[in-house]
Amino acid sequence: MSLSVPQHILDALTDVVMPRLPAEPAPDRHVTASGYDIPVFACGAVVIGSGAAGLRAAVEMKRRDVDVTVISQSAWGGTSACSGSDKQTLHTANTKDQGDNFQTMAAAIRAGGAMDEDTAYIEAVGSIRAMASLQYLGLPLPQDDLGGTLRYQTDHDEVGRATSCGPRTSRLMVKVLAKEAIRLGVPLFNHTTALKVLTDGQRDQTQVTGVLTIRPKARTDTNPLGLALFQCAALVFAAGGPGELYRDSVFPNGCFGTLGLALETGLELVNITESQFGIGTRREGFPWNLSGTYVQVIPHIYSVDDTGAEHHFLADYYRTTQEMASNIFRKGYQWPFHASRMLDFQSSLVDLAIFTEGQKGRRVFMDFNRNPLPVPGDQDFNLARLDGDVRSYLTNAGASHDLPIDRLRHMNPLAIELYKRYKVDITSDPLEFAVNNQHMNGGIAVDTWGRTNIAGIYAVGEASGTHGATRPGGSALNAGQVFGTRVAEHVAASGKAHAPSDTKPHIDRAITEIKAVLKTDSPHTIKDIRSNIQARMSDHAGILCTAKDVTSARSEARQLNDAIRRNGIAYTRENEIGRALQWQQMALASEAVLSALDHYISNGGGSRGARAICDPEGTALPEARTGPLPHVRFRPERDEDMREQILVRLDGTDMVISTRPNRAFDANAKSFFERDWPAWLTGDIYDLSGESDQTP
């Protein structure tokens, strides 16, 4: 029997209308600097980014009487509002069918290595609060008849901690948080791009004083660049990941993140070698991850060459139809590529095969109106001939329908509705897709309160580097909610941002640096720099890497940054000014990623998370039905690399690389109420020494 969900319910969960932005406050004053008449907005705290993590930080700060303002390049246009974040990974103790404990969940979150143990525990403990508060705000997480949250298994998750409102889960999160921010009166400045972070002091005494932005609304004859200054005593980086870093990407267009800005500010980055790659539709149309039921219904996957001929290429990799079909299914909860899953005919052979077809110049499709064709010489596809875990899942779901599209319509009709909104009807037409970059697991280095190495600056969400080498699917959304709250608690406890900042940041140097990039006569165009960066990253820092290619790519990235420093970037229209500066910062981010990756590989680092480090001396050799695959022989990951993290900072024009061990967490330590309560009452838990004399 098929599930019958009324159309109006499907519409409500697919067409998520975002709230109307309130009017922006007028500037508090104007300042003249370097000949520009610049509007100044005095704030206690500023959040860069209007996604789920940034809005959580803003809402929680406002609730604690912090004078907080949100600035956004494109409100409701970022990854969490527009991309395929369809699940949240949460503690499962409140379900009737399965228990859990924080230690077990923390161990699962950090199992991929290169992650601080205390951070993983914080995310586990905080998940209940994150879920409950989102439900309080109106997020429609599904429940059973006794109030338990419905859950399912996702990638790197052997327990089943994921829950979902459908494909628009993260957009619904943004919506309820945005409505709350507006209700609380949080100012939100749209079309406002952060360009330069302003600080005062030297070395360990450095403190944030503001952020210089570009706003088309601020453009006047006396301010032709459209600069605007936001004074603040606390600054939160929450602008997501570097979505424009790769050509083959599932990020929405225009997602630049702030890694380059962070480097210029003097912030340390961590784990930026670690990303996620997986199958999804191309960003030229409607970019979306093809995880979950899209592949669990087991559609036919094929490629088309330039003559129009179809190729059943997966049959070259798997030995039987049952093995091939079962591993297509497993991409639903093993969505990210992982080198070790290329071994023993596991599910990442699917990613490798699709990637290889793309390298041949072929287009790859999935057809929901056809079951997989058989492997030559084997039996036809049959639901009764699937691996036990696959057959059990489909049986429990009641998905015994003859065709994939009917199984999808039964298991997840929202998956069909979503593509219809973008003029793609998968009930009748095949869906083109590829292996894409999807998420940066690394980012700005932070401590257990979200603090960076510069006083007053914090980072949350994908902007922060808290996720380690791999993570359970959906845990990134949870991490943003948990650390958004912790950052707010810390900012409020510091007492620095309850009133607008009265500092007078020095901005002349920042303006000089901005103007040095903007050169109308530069030989380097935005288009050329974009192609240069994205091609290099996709071709040499994707799912397959070699030491030689990465070293060469790092050198080329360094040369590009040297050229930009000498010649700047050309622009032809005023609305290209912000983009030129963002591509200059993206060039820095690219060099940083490649420098860290080159360091990791050249020091013997093996395959983990996103990438296979291909090496003719590697001990791991994937096999296909047709025989061994020597071109993807790779180095396995070393245990010692799981226990440390790679840091990157910009020193002048050089990327400086260092490592540090993961922070440990004593799982046997016990809290004791009478002993530990005073630290909460006095604010000692916030570690405010040297930051403020005030306590909460």
Helix axes 169-184, 475-494, angle to 10 degrees: 20
Residue 688 belongs to some domain of the structure: no
413 and 521 in a single domain? The answer is no
pLDDT for the residue numbered 629:
97
pLDDT for the residue numbered 695:
36
420 and 517 in a single domain? The answer is no
d(CA 688, CA 683): 8
pLDDT for the residue numbered 92:
58
415 and 529 in a single domain? The answer is no
Query: What is the mean pLDDT of the segment spanning 685-693?
Result: 74
| Residue indicated by tokens 């257990």 | 448
Task: Tell whether the model's pLDDT for residue 2 goes beyond 50.
Answer: no
Residue 32 belongs to some domain of the structure: no
Sheet of 29-33, strands arranged across: 29-33, 36-42, 227-231, 207-214, 193-200
pLDDT for the residue numbered 1:
35
Task: Tell whether the model's pLDDT for residue 126 goes beyond 70.
Answer: yes
Residue 534 belongs to some domain of the structure: yes
Task: State what percent of residues in the chain have pLDDT above 70.
Answer: 94
Last residue of a domain, one of 387, 420, 437: 437
User: 73 falls in which pLDDT band (50, 70, 90)?
Assistant: very high
Tokens (6 digits) for 133: 């508060």
Please write the tens of the pLDDT for every residue from 511-551: 999 999 999 999 999 999 999 999 999 999 999 999 999 99
398 and 520 in a single domain? The answer is no
Query: What is the mean pLDDT of the segment spanning 448-472?
Result: 93
Helix (H) or strand (E) holding 381: none
pLDDT for the residue numbered 101:
80
Cross-strand pairs, 192: none
Tokens (6 digits) for 545: 């890497």
Query: What is the mean pLDDT of the segment spanning 676-684?
Result: 94
Helix (H) or strand (E) holding 309: none
Residue 385 belongs to some domain of the structure: yes
| Residue indicated by tokens 């603090």 | 451
Task: Tell whether the model's pLDDT for residue 434 goes beyond 80.
Answer: yes
CATH code, 655? 1.20.58.100
514 and 599 in a single domain? The answer is yes
User: 503 falls in which pLDDT band (50, 70, 90)?
Assistant: confident
Task: Tell whether the model's pLDDT for residue 97 goes beyond 60.
Answer: no
514 and 641 in a single domain? The answer is yes
Supply the mean pLDDT for the chain.
91
User: 693 falls in which pLDDT band (50, 70, 90)?
Assistant: very low
Residue 160 belongs to some domain of the structure: no
Tokens (6 digits) for 461: 């969400």
From residue 77, give the alpha-carbon distance in Å to each of 81, 251, 289.
6, 11, 17
308 and 428 in a single domain? The answer is yes
Residue 521 belongs to some domain of the structure: yes
What is the value of pTM for the model shown?
Answer: 0.94
d(CA 369, CA 387): 22
Task: Tell whether the model's pLDDT for residue 4 goes beyond 80.
Answer: no
Last residue of a domain, one of 401, 419, 437: 437
d(CA 487, CA 199): 19
391 and 515 in a single domain? The answer is no
d(CA 399, CA 390): 11
User: 24 falls in which pLDDT band (50, 70, 90)?
Assistant: very high
* Boundaries of domain holding 643: 509-660
427 and 537 in a single domain? The answer is no
Helix (H) or strand (E) holding 213: strand 207-214
pLDDT for the residue numbered 288:
83
Residues whose CB falls within 8 Å of the CB of residue 690, separated by 6 or more in sequence, listed in order: none
Task: Tell whether the model's pLDDT for residue 649 goes beyond 90.
Answer: yes
- Which DSSP letter does residue 227 get? E
Q: How many domains does the structure of the chain reveal?
A: 2
Residue 655 belongs to some domain of the structure: yes
By the 8 A CB rule, do 477 and 131 touch? Answer: no
Among 142, 163, 143, residue whose Cα is nearest residue 152: 163
Cα dihedral 91, 96, 97, 103, rounded to 10, equals 30
Task: Tell whether the model's pLDDT for residue 652 goes beyond 50.
Answer: yes
Report the alpha-carbon angle 642-646-647, nearest 5: 150
User: 18 falls in which pLDDT band (50, 70, 90)?
Assistant: confident
By the 8 A CB rule, do 116 and 662 touch? Answer: yes
DSSP symbols for 179-192: HHHHHHT--EE-S-
Query: What is the mean pLDDT of the segment spanning 159-168?
Result: 77
Task: Tell whether the model's pLDDT for residue 397 goes beyond 60.
Answer: yes
Among 195, 269, 248, 201, residue whose Cα is nearest residue 583: 195
Residue type, 95: T
Task: Tell whether the model's pLDDT for residue 561 goes beyond 60.
Answer: yes
**Higher per-residue confidence, 296 vs 152:** 296
User: 90 falls in which pLDDT band (50, 70, 90)?
Assistant: low
pLDDT for the residue numbered 612:
96
Query: What is the mean pLDDT of the segment spanning 282-300?
Result: 88
pLDDT for the residue numbered 618:
96
Tokens (6 digits) for 16: 């998520």
513 and 656 in a single domain? The answer is yes
For the ranges 129-138, 188-197, 443-452, 614-623, the lowest mean pLDDT is seen at 129-138
Please write the tens of the pLDDT for every residue from 203-232: 788 999 999 999 999 999 999 999 999 999
Task: State what percent of residues in the chain have pLDDT above 90.
Answer: 73
513 and 433 in a single domain? The answer is no
d(CA 300, CA 313): 11
Helix axes 577-602, 508-517, angle to 10 degrees: 90
| Residue indicated by tokens 């230690």 | 103
pLDDT for the residue numbered 99:
56
Residue 611 belongs to some domain of the structure: yes
User: 3 falls in which pLDDT band (50, 70, 90)?
Assistant: low
Last residue of a domain, one of 437, 468, 495: 437
425 and 515 in a single domain? The answer is no
d(CA 160, CA 472): 10
d(CA 642, CA 654): 26
Task: Tell whether the model's pLDDT for residue 347 goes beyond 80.
Answer: yes
d(CA 484, CA 695): 20
pLDDT for the residue numbered 690:
62
